[in-house]
Structure formats: structure tokens, C-alpha cells
Structure 1
Amino acid sequence: MAGLSPIRRLHDWWQRRRLSAAGQPLGAQRLFLMPTRFGVIWAVLIPVLLLFGINYQNNLAYGLAFWLFAVALVSLWRGWRNLHGVSLTASASGEVFAGDLAHLSVRLSAARHRHALRVVLVAGPGQVAAAEGEIRGSELILPLAVPSLHRGQWRLPPLRLESAWPLGLVRLVAWVDSGVELLVYPAPGETGEAHARRRGQGLAPQDFAGLRRFEPGDGPARLAWKQWSRTGVLSTKAFSLPPRRQRWLDYDACSGEPEARLSRLCAQLLDYHRAGDLYGLRLPGVELAPANGPAQRRRALQALARWAAPSPRSGS
């Protein structure tokens, strides 16, 4: 802390001051009042009416000014109680590729009915996701979809919980650190090669595996007519799947910028997985042995997401 600049220390203090932990009920020190445009007009109208009443000795202006002031106080109190004690947690679901939407589930919990709650997530300039609702029982679940802009480990920025209930004079705002971290995979690009062979395709006569019992729906071309003429038993020709091929996803075999290479490798990886091929991954400093299945797909995608391109200085 001694080596930090005053601006940095002030920023760190503000972050600690405003942020609440996920799942922790919001306390009084974590709630902030922000006047709305309507609230500013309301606040300006009160002294104007007071001055009018004093200048013209108008009791109606006095009464209206005090009534507006009392309503504003009640509105502030009700709005503060509406947000006080609410707890927020968030979780992510599904895989996320760069450029796609990351789907979040935000859970709001409270001991009683809460009105007009709004959750906002600002992921970047112009990248805002928001959802709103009210807690009728003990909890409310809101879906959020936010664009993921870059590959790699991404810690979500703080979620903003706000409410302008009941009259919209002020917005009660609280910021909550969800603690959610997403691993964003590279955006699949062009593979640069044709992958026409897929599971169950490309069957040839040498793939013949034998005969099986006829089942309704078998096509005439698959029926063993010669076998039927000799034995009188209708059978169907069975074919084996083509053998799985072993592939390598090699970073050095691709051309272009690092992110373009990773996008191409990601697209090839998904193609090989769908085809059922065995595939391995070679990145500078990382190598995965050939395998297949969901576990291999997950390991390879995670390796692509976490890999950091060497700096030009280290590569020279």
C-alpha cells in the first residue's frame, strides 16, 4: 500500500466500500442513493413553493410544500427498506465461445416481498445486459445474457442491483461481486480443409460386417435377396462404421496471427469430435495425447482457451 499512488488508494478504498460479497444480505453501508431527473424536479419544487408561500403568505403553498417533503421522506424510507437485506448470487451455465453470449442465472433472495428489482451487468462499452422482476416469495431467478468479447479467463465485473420503487424519486443502488469466472473458448473459424467423412458415412463394400434380422423400415437395397432365395429367411446387410482416424491439431501447421490460428484449431477440433476421430493437440509448450470423447474435447478446448501467445521479445 505504501507504494501506491493516492488515486490508486482512493480507487481501492471505493471498491472495498461499495462492493458486497455474493450471497451476503445488503446492509445499510452498501446502499447508495442516486436522484433521478424526476426526483431533482421534485426537490426543486419544494423550496419554490416555500418561497411562494412566504412571499404571498399563501397557506396552500405552505401545505403543498410540506406535503411534497413528507411524501419524499416516506418514498426514501420505503425504497431503502425495499433493497435492504436482499442477497444476490450468480452462476454461469453452458460453454462460451468468444463472440457468443454467456448465459447467467442471477438469484435474488429476501425474507419478504420486494418490488421492481433490476440487475444490470456492464461488460464493456455498449455491452449492457439487464433483467428485472420482483420477489413474490422468498427468491427470484433472473436470466442474463452478456456477450463474451475475448478468449481466455474472464472474471465478470460487479453486478449492479437497483430499484427506483416506489415513486421513482431516487434509485437505490448496490454493487455485488458475483465471483463468477468464465473460461471463454476461441471463436471457431474456417478449418481450411474439407472434412467430408463423418460417423456412418463413406460406407463401402469392404465395410460389410454381416447379416442381421430384418426389421420394418429397412430399405430394399440393404436386403439380402440371395440369402432369402436360398433359405426363405429375410435378412438385412449390416455395415461397420469406417475406422477412426488419428489427427493432430498443430499450432505450427497453421498460418496467421495467434488468435486466427487458435480459431482454426478450434473449428478443426469440433469437426474431429463430431466425426469420432482420435485427435491430439500441439501448442507451443503444450501437448495433449490423441484421444476422443467429451473429456478430450473439454481438455483441448480448455488448453486453447488458456494458452498465452509468447511475447515477441521472448520469441526472439
Structure 2
Amino acid sequence: MLERLQELHDEAVTRTAQAETLKELQEVRVAYLGKKGPITEVMKSMGRLSTEERPVVGQKANEVRESVQALIEEKEKTLEEAQVLEQLKQESIDVSLPGRPVSKGSRHPLTSVVERIEDVFIGMGFQVAEGPEVETDYYNFESLNLPKHHPARDMQDTFFITPDLLLRTQTSPVQTRTMEKHEGRGPVKIVCPGKVYRRDEDDATHSHQFMQIEGLVVDEGIRMSDLKGIFEAFVKSYFGEDRDIRLRPSFFPFTEPSAELDISCAMCGGRGCRTCKGSGWIEVLGAGMVHPNVLEMGGFDPEKYSGFAFGMGVERFAMLKYGIDDIRHFYTNDTRFLEQFARE
């Protein structure tokens, strides 16, 4: 048996040296060290040996097994290193080649416009306030002087979820929520940006989803002239020092008196052209003095406090600023359109 063990050792050494792949080496491992291998068979047959021979053969069998195991592990390490080197050679990178440019994203034009408008108003002492996009009928309509069955509700086609829950049609509910937090104590000076939803037909100038920024100022002694002063500062900061403004009487249920704000047309300088339809002016937003009912429902005493509010469409301001002719461009995710604003 000692001679047989030595023969098996020599065979295993030879086959291990001849193995050129990890698969071939695994076959050698199974052939000589496996449960059905010849070394294991020799050890199983030791029971037939005498008491004197058994420890000698057992020691030799263990030496052979350990020697073959060590040789295979050493060869396995060598083959793995060679495999890695070959893989690195095949996957090597020519660092002298020019790199592939990595395209960078940029702010969406509507995000940029919102941030620009916010910056202007923050510079005038306003704070930014936000609220939920799913609103109750009370905050979206009733608290803004629009009780149920009020005809002015027909001006806004609404997405109702339940009879009392809806997708907000304006960011005005944030104004009421903010007034409630102040518990009837001024001043309040906020702008409220966010998405709003109306069941409008999608065309070049309308979308079922769009963005608004509304503003609210409430304090003692607030007048219409304060509203005009804020607008003059905002328009000149956002559109340029050469732009003029005018206020036209209008109607909104939540303000009284109410007005539309127009700015002078940049295309013709106020002389009249196709862009402004010959008037020299372009309408940009609605505003007015906060209705006493709205102040009262917000927790303020209309005998002591007054205020003004305004609302503007972000897409409209972006279209005026960048000369965009279709509101749908903002929502189609066309990178050709969006890449134009990466330089901003």
C-alpha cells in the first residue's frame, strides 16, 4: 500500500503540473481527493492491515493527501493570477484616447423662472409658503369668498376627488392657511408657488396642469398704492428697467377692488404690434385688495387690517421672457427644447 500511495502521489503531481485551466485542475482534485478517489479507497481498505502496518500506512496516506492538496492550491492560485492578467490585457483602456463627454442636466425653465421670481420678492421682504395640492372645498373656494353654488366657480373647471376634496385650482388656499397660522396678527407677507389643476383643453396656451405664484400682504394701513409699488419694482427687476406697467379694473371674488396688471410690450416698446395685438400692452397677472370676507375667514379683523393679493401664471411669465409660443413644450420632456436653457 505504501508503494501504491507513492504512485498516486507522483501521478497527481504530474497531472497538476499539466493542468492549464481551472476546470482541468478541478478534475484533478476530484480524481485524487474526491470521496471516490484512489487515495480515499486506500484509506478505507486499511482495516485489512495488521496493527503494526495500519499507523504507518495511515501516516503515509495523510502525507500524500496533504501534499497533493497543497500542490493543487498552489497551482490554482497561479492559474487565477494568469486568468486575471489575461482579462486585464483584453480589457485594457487606451488612456491616450479622448474621453467620451458626459452630458449634464440643468434646471427646468419653469424651475428657473420660479426661483427668479422668488428671489425678487424675497429681496422685498416676502417669505415663501407652500401648501397641499389636494385641497378641501373650503380652502379652495369657500374661504376665498366663493360659497357653494357661487356663479364665479364656473370660471374654474375642477378635478373633484370627492364632493369635498379636489385638486387645487389655484395656490390661493395657501394664503388662507397662512393667515390662520398668524391667528389674526399681522404682518403677513408671502408668495406661494406651486402646481395647480383645471380641466382645460390642452392647446398652445392652456394646460390641465400649470404653475402659479400667488402673493399676499396683510397688515395695518395697506393701500392700493402699495400694490402698485410692489408691481413696479417686480416688473423692472424681472423684465427690465424699460418696462412700464398699468392697472386695469377687473373682477375677482376674493379681492375688492380688483385689477389686471399689464406691462408694456417689449417687441414694440408700447407702440403696438402683432404680439400685443396693437395695444402696446400685455396682460400678465390679476390682483386686488383682499376682500373683507376673506380677511375675516382667515382670522383677521377687516376693520383693523387690510391687504392685497396677486396671482401669476409661471408658464406665461416664462413664455414672455423666452419667447416661447406653446405651453406644451414645458411638459413634453423634449431634450431639444430643454437643452436651450442649460446655458442660463
Normalised to the residue count of structure 1, the TM-score between the two structures is 0.21
Higher strand content, 1 or 2? 1
Higher Cα Rg: structure 1 or 2?
2
Normalised to the residue count of structure 2, the TM-score between the two structures is 0.20
Higher helix content, 1 or 2? 2
